[in-house]
Amino acid sequence: MNTSQPIRTKQELEQFMNYYKKVQPHPRNRLLIVMGLNTALRISDLLSLRWRDVYDPGSGIWKDHILLIEAKTGKASSIYMNEHIKNALSTYKKECAAKTDQPLTGQEYLFPGKTKKPISRVQAYRIIRKAAEACNLKGVISPHSLRKTFGYHAWKQGTSPVLLMDIYHHSSYRITKRYLGIEQDDRDEVFRNVCL
């Protein structure tokens, strides 16, 4: 099966998130992974983000929410920016400031390539695959895996699948269930833990 998979274990997830922080430092690539994991956005929506979507250059304050219209669904989303996102943004902003004497206007893309336009979906795939391969992650790990990993861990922490369905803007529970990547081990854990 060539379907992208979530990263299931905390240990693998930690190793994957730290690849572009500790093993091969690259703040932009680390931000791509951190934001992908923590926003559950599709890669096309993630790559379209600009600094103004996360930061107010006038006041120098991080926004609390990312507000956008999803490209695929046309639906509005308001995504809370947690501390992991803000910390990765702050690190990346410092690197950007060190590379140029121009202040942020807010118009700049968060994930620019050499032309200052956003990196391509193919480049995002390469960034994520490189980290996954270096961390010896099994299965198909792709940009979509970041979105699925968010749902899988939210579900494991007790988030209702109905709420996840709403977050993902899915039209059916069947789609959300597939996203969660529920396997036999997950079913076994329920039977192990519910001892009546």
* Dihedral sign (CA 72, 139, 189, 18): negative
- Does the annotation mark 169 as catalytic? no
Helices and strands per DSSP (H, E), number in the chain: 9, 4
Exactly one of 28, 30, 93, 170 is catalytic; name it. Answer: 170
- Does the annotation mark 65 as catalytic? no
3-state DSSP helix/strand/coil percent for the chain, to nearest 5? 55, 10, 35
- Does the annotation mark 179 as catalytic? yes
Exactly one of 147, 148, 152, 168 is catalytic; name it. Answer: 147
Exactly one of 19, 55, 152, 179 is catalytic; name it. Answer: 179
Residues 8 and 96: their CA atoms lie apart, in Å, by 32
The answer to whether residues 134 and 16 touch, using CB atoms and an 8 Å cutoff, is no
- Does the annotation mark 42 as catalytic? yes
Exactly one of 8, 28, 42, 148 is catalytic; name it. Answer: 42
Residues 167 and 163: their CA atoms lie apart, in Å, by 6
Exactly one of 72, 99, 116, 192 is catalytic; name it. Answer: 72
Strands 76-80 and 65-69, by their bridges, are antiparallel
Token duo for residue 35 = 């934001």
Exactly one of 8, 93, 144, 148 is catalytic; name it. Answer: 144
Active site residues: 42, 72, 144, 147, 170, 179
